[in-house]
Amino acid sequence: MIATKISLAAGIIHALFSLFYLFVGFRLTSLYQELPVKPNPILSNWPLITFLAFSVLNFLFWYFLRSKEKQQLKVAYGLPVSIILLIAPFVIFYASGIYADIQVARTLKEIP
């Protein structure tokens, strides 16, 4: 089934993005060592949390689809859900970036 392969590939891709953002979070923490308040590299790292959550969801959905394949049952919604789980964290990531830019623009307009 193609949905099983898409779900597994999406889980691996999101896991790799999670590792990247985890590395970035620890790198930023080491750069800001001299500040009195140190950022949390995991809990304050929203891209890491987003990609990690969707990685877990993809692996769980892959396991569900694989178990249904072993029982020789077809899942009618497998392909659309796999594609949505593949695309959703990237959409959330870019939408949050656009929202943050809008908030910065509003703040800059308020500064005289």
96 sits in the region (left: phi over 0; alpha: psi -120 to 50; else beta) called alpha
pLDDT at residue 13 above 90? yes
Note the pLDDT of residue 15.
95
Q: What are phi and psi of 45, to 5 degrees?
A: -100, 85
pLDDT tens-digit readout, 19-75: 999 898 888 777 777 777 767 777 778 888 999 999 999 999 999 999 999 999 988
**Measured at the alpha carbon of residue 90, what is the angle toward residues 61 and 82, in degrees to the nearest 5?**
25
The one-letter amino acid at 101: D
pTM: 0.81
